[in-house]
Structures are given as C-alpha cells and as structure tokens.
Amino acid sequence: MSRKVVCKITKEKGDSETFIKIGKFYYQSQEVYDNEERRKALRKELTYFICSEFLDYKPGQKFPALLNKKLKELDFYSDEIIFEAFKQKQDDIKYWMNAKQFSGDYGRLSYIFAIISNSIADIYKAAQRTKRQEELIEQEVHTGDLEIAGTSAKAKNLADWLN
C-alpha cells in the first residue's frame, strides 16, 4: 500500500510507489534529484570562485552572507549564465578591485554585482541565441533537410542573379 508523499524539490504530491526515496526524503524522479545536486554543486563552485578570485578569501574561510543575497537577486538567470558572466567579466572586476579603494567586503560585493548585473542580460541573450541555433541545426539534421535555416524552399538560379 502506498502513502502520499511530497517531492522535496518540486513540492509536487504523489505516492511512495511512483516517487523515489533518497535518504529521508522523496523525490519525483532520479533526474529531478540529479539536477538539484548539479545545481547545488555549481552554486558552491560559483561561491568559491567569487570569494577566492575577487575577495581573496582562503579555503575554509567563511564567506559573507551578502554574497547569497546578491546571488538570489540574479535568480532569474541560471547558475550557468551567472558563472559565465563572472568568467567573462573577470578581468574587468579584478581591474576595478585593484583600482578602487573599498572599505570592506560590502562595498566590493556591491561593485562586483553592479558590473555583473550591467552585463548579464547580454550574456543571457547570447546564450539563448546559441541554444536556438543549436536546436535548429539539430532539427535539420533529424529531418534530413540540408537547407540553411531561414532560407526558402524554392531554389534560385545563380545565373539569373549574376545577370
């Protein structure tokens, strides 16, 4: 007999026969659990990257609570996009961390996230464009159509164009 359970991540309701139990909690599927674990690992890596690269924190040193608050403000974007933004703006951030005098970590983090929030939308749009292009190419490969995306099905004679 199955009992009613709730997925720890998605909060969807189901029964113990369809959901999987890992540890003390139930999850909708192994895929949902694995995606959440990957997301947590990436967030941890991102936090370590910010603290070690820009704030000169050593491993084991407690990071500022403001960091989580600032990362939560960027929750619209995936952690991959946020991480990519930090990698692309790494040189700019390091330059400004050395050029300006900050009184503490609050000022540094505020300035870092101002740089990131000014450029993350462009990085997000570029990632979306790349994703769409990959999907179009994959779709064309699956359909067997070798036409270039966005062209008409009717072929034109090159000789007409040259005249």
Q: Is the per-residue pLDDT at 54 higher than 70?
A: yes
The amino acid that residue 78 corresponds to is S
- The pLDDT tens digits of the residues spanning 65-116 come to 899 999 999 989 999 999 999 999 999 999 998 888 888 888 899 999 999 9
Q: Is residue 52 part of a domain?
A: yes
The answer to whether residue 64 sits within a structural domain is: yes
In 3D space, the residue among 91, 88, 93 whose CA is nearest the CA of residue 115 turns out to be 93
Asked if the structure places residue 157 within a domain, the reply is: no
Q: Does the residue 90 lie in any domain? A: yes
Query: In this prediction, what percent of the chain has a pLDDT beyond 70?
Result: 87
Structural domain contains residue 108: yes
Q: Which domain holds residue 46?
A: 39-147
Task: Return the axis-axis angle of helices 30-53 and 79-88, rounded to nearest 10°.
Answer: 20
CA distances from 6 to 21, 26, 109 (A): 11, 7, 37
Q: How many folded domains does the chain comprise?
A: 1
Asked whether residue 54 is assigned to any structural domain, the reply reads: yes
Domain assignment of residue 121, yes or no? yes
What is the per-residue DSSP string for 72-117? HHTTTS-HHHHHHHHHHTHHHHHHHHHHS--SSHHHHHHHHHHHHH
Q: Confirm whether 75 is domain-assigned.
A: yes
pTM above 0.85, yes or no: no
pLDDT tier at 29 (50, 70, 90 boundaries)? confident
